[in-house]
Amino acid sequence: GQQVMQIPQYQHVQEGEDFTTYCNSSTTLSNIQWYKQRPGGHPVFLIQLVKSGEVKKQKRLTFQFGEAKKNSSLHITATQTTDVGTYFCAADSNYQLIWGAGTKLIIKP
């Protein structure tokens, strides 16, 4: 079945550094959604991308959907402690969401 590969599994950054997570699929995606899960919490919807080449911003977060609609990225500029958590991408496949493995953002003390 369809898979969504998400990398890296972890990213350690100093507060103030940038963070990026990537999702890739071998097949064309109809759309892609991004979620954030804080430690001990539940996933919270961040955004949905639908159009080829789409770029959306939410404050320090920038979401991109590739031209071929096979990849997507989430970039956080100047990370803050409130950004800590695991970021998941999820793509539709026959009206089900296929989840990436998640990228855990860890702020170095």
Partner 1 sequence: GAVVSQHPSWVICKSGTSVKIECRSLDFQATTMFWYRQFPKQSLMLMATSNEGSKATYEQGVEKDKFLINHASLTLSTLTVTSAHPEDSSFYICSAIQGELPHSPLHFGNGTRLTVT
Q: Establish if 52 lies at the interface with partner 1 (CB under 8 A).
A: no
| Of 67, 83, 82, residue with least CA distance to 19 | 83
Nearer to partner 1, 51 or 78 (CB): 51
Q: Establish if 31 lies at the interface with partner 1 (CB under 8 A).
A: yes
DSSP 6-41: EE-SEEEEETTS-EEEEEE-SS--S-EEEEEE-TTS
- Counting residues that bind partner 1 (by CB under 8 A) gives 22
Nearer to partner 1, 77 or 93 (CB): 93
Helix (H, G, I), strand (E, B) or coil at 82: helix
Q: Which stretches of the chain bind partner 1, using CB under 8 A?
A: 30-31, 33, 35, 41-45, 48, 50, 88, 90, 92, 95-97, 99-102, 104
